[in-house]
Amino acid sequence: MHSRIFQASETPLGDEELTEDDLVDYEGDIDYDYVREIPEEYRDHSYEWAFGGPAFSLGWDEEGNRYAELRDKAEYFRTKYERFKEAAEKAASATFEEFCTDDHFTDLGMHVYEIKSNYVDRLAFWLVGSEYYMCPVPLDEWVRHAKVGDRLYLGAVFDYHFRARLGKPLRGAPPPYRGTVSYRGTVAPFPLPPHVPPLVLPKISVKVYILPP
């Protein structure tokens, strides 16, 4: 339930870096409930996570700017395409009754989710920066419009926790079946080297709905 927001530009960023405060305007586009900046010395882990596969190459230009260069567009989308096709074939076999059911937990609901997320995953990596200031861009969407050899110059990195939308709460549930719990603690949303501290979270209130048997 964690992913990354990357400050990125198709031209070198210079010294201007985004902060957590700059992301407030993006909350409506990127569906997160909190975000934390990753310290500069630990950014490479996130760069490798997003751009370390065969579809990209990571490097430094002569001015010392970090970049990710698109090397193989087909490689980036190959697995996504296979999953997209598989989910579409399963969705096509849905019954009319399934189509009319408002329930995210049906097989059809899951197949539709897989179709959408494998085309553009809006709960994965996002780009924000000079070209995208008014409109954050999912990495999937950038790659779809990019050409092999295009570069993203990389700056600040933010860990974000995306909201889970697994279903709808029971409206008007009586007190035994709904309530609120609070959590305060630490979380390490990815495998951390020994010298990297986990992220410290503020107090978070979570509504819990428990349906009667």
Q: Which residues contact 36 (CB under 8 A, 6 or more apart)?
A: 20, 158, 159, 160, 199
Sorted by sequence, the CB contacts under 8 Å of residue 108 that are 6+ apart come out as 91, 94, 98, 99, 101
Task: Give 102's pLDDT tier (boundaries 50, 70, 90).
Answer: low
Question: Does residue 133 surpass a pLDDT of 60?
Answer: no
DSSP strand pairing (137-138 vs 186-187): unpaired
Confidence of residue 66 (pLDDT cuts 50, 70, 90): very high
Residues in the chain, total? 213
Q: What is the average per-residue pLDDT within 107-121?
A: 91
What does the pLDDT read at residue 32? 79
- pLDDT for the residue 132: 54
Task: Read off the pLDDT band of 21 (50, 70, 90).
Answer: confident
Terminal CA-CA length for the chain: 28
pLDDT of the residue at 126: 93
Q: Locate the domains of the chain by residue range.
A: 2-167, 169-213
pLDDT at position 105, please?
A: 64
pLDDT at 172: 37
Bridge-based pairing state of the strands 199-200 and 186-187: antiparallel
Question: pTM for this structure?
Answer: 0.73
- For the four alpha carbons of 101, 102, 107 and 111, in that order, the dihedral sign comes to positive
CA angle, residues 183, 185, 187, in degrees to nearest 5: 110
Local structure of residue 187 (DSSP, 8 states): E
Least confident window among 55-64, 101-110, 137-146: 101-110
pLDDT in tens, 148-174: 999 999 999 999 887 655 443 333 333
Q: For position 180, what pLDDT does the model report?
A: 32
25-39, 66-80, 179-193 — most confident range: 66-80
- pLDDT(56) > 80: yes
Residue that wins the pLDDT comparison between 94 and 1? 94
CA atoms within 13 A on the CB side of 144: 11
What's the pLDDT band for 19 if we cut at 50, 70, 90? confident
Mean pLDDT of 177-191: 36
